[in-house]
Homo-oligomer: A and B are copies of this chain.
Amino acid sequence: MPTREQAKQARRDAIITAAVRLMRARGDAGFSMRALAEAAGVSIATPYNLFGSKQAIMLAVLDAGMARYEDHLDRLEADALDIFFEAVSLAVELYGEAPKFHKAVLFAAYGDGGRDHRAVFGDPRFLFWKGRVDQARDAGLLESEIEANALALALSQQFFICILEWAYGQIGLDELESRVHYSFALLLKGAATAAGAKRIAPRIRPLQQQLTRFWADAPLPLTADKSA
């Protein structure tokens, strides 16, 4: 039991705990490395020694929260096709429980330096989608020629960018869900067998109706305020 390593780990935990606490309390505003160090009862230099950068800390916080998401995911019992949409809805639900927190973490993990954004949606999440693609293909819902990596990547990216728009405050959680569902429906239908396409097709029209309802207020979805 190396006491040295214990103390280091304790400090590490204290920093992550303090980060979560600060984020949940005040969101992104007022969260700085200096504030974090003070809240963790530690010098400003220590977080850099233990994590390297603010972004690394945010990724650690994000991963801690993602563990919970993956627990829920494992418990999801859904059809090989429905699982795609339910996984999205589950994430939306979890985000909704602590939106300020998740927005702040996502924004900090992605927005500031930005370079490591594949880490935000890296290994575990991507592998999840890939696994579902494989299952859907085995179930005869997707074309056998479809490459799981390629489709999973497209799904991941579409999910990711919608989450970013939400984190940046440009859309609400409900629109996030509809948008991702819509993109997923199109992507999956594009890769689907005739049988799969028949099952996905009915999803499209209602999703479009929901989306146009969202956009009834804001005339054009991508138009910035200035030219509205």
Contacts and interface: CB of A to CB of B under 8 A. Distances in A.
A192 to B, nearest CB: 8
A183 B154 contact: yes
A154 B169 contact: no
B122 A223 contact: yes
A179 interface: yes
A125 to B, nearest CB: 8
Contacts of A121: 222
A27 to B, nearest CB: 14
A26 interface: no
A123 interface: yes
Interface in A125-164: 125-126, 145-147, 149-151, 153-154, 156-158, 160-162, 164
Interface in A51-93: none
Given A157-B162, A158-B157, A224 B118 contact: yes
A115 interface: yes
Where chain A touches its partner, the secondary structure class is helix
Given A114-B107, A185-B190, A186-B187, A220 B158 contact: no
Contacts of A162: 157
Contact of A160 (B154, B161, B187, B212): B161
Interface residues of A, number: 59
A23 interface: no
Contact of A117 (B145, B157, B168, B211): B168
Contacts of A165: 118
B123 A223 contact: yes
Given A117-B168, A154-B182, A186-B187, 18 more contacts: A107-B114, A110-B114, A111-B111, A118-B165, A119-B224, A121-B222, A122-B224, A122-B227, A123-B227, A147-B211, A149-B215, A149-B220, A154-B183, A154-B186, A157-B158, A187-B187, A188-B190, A190-B200
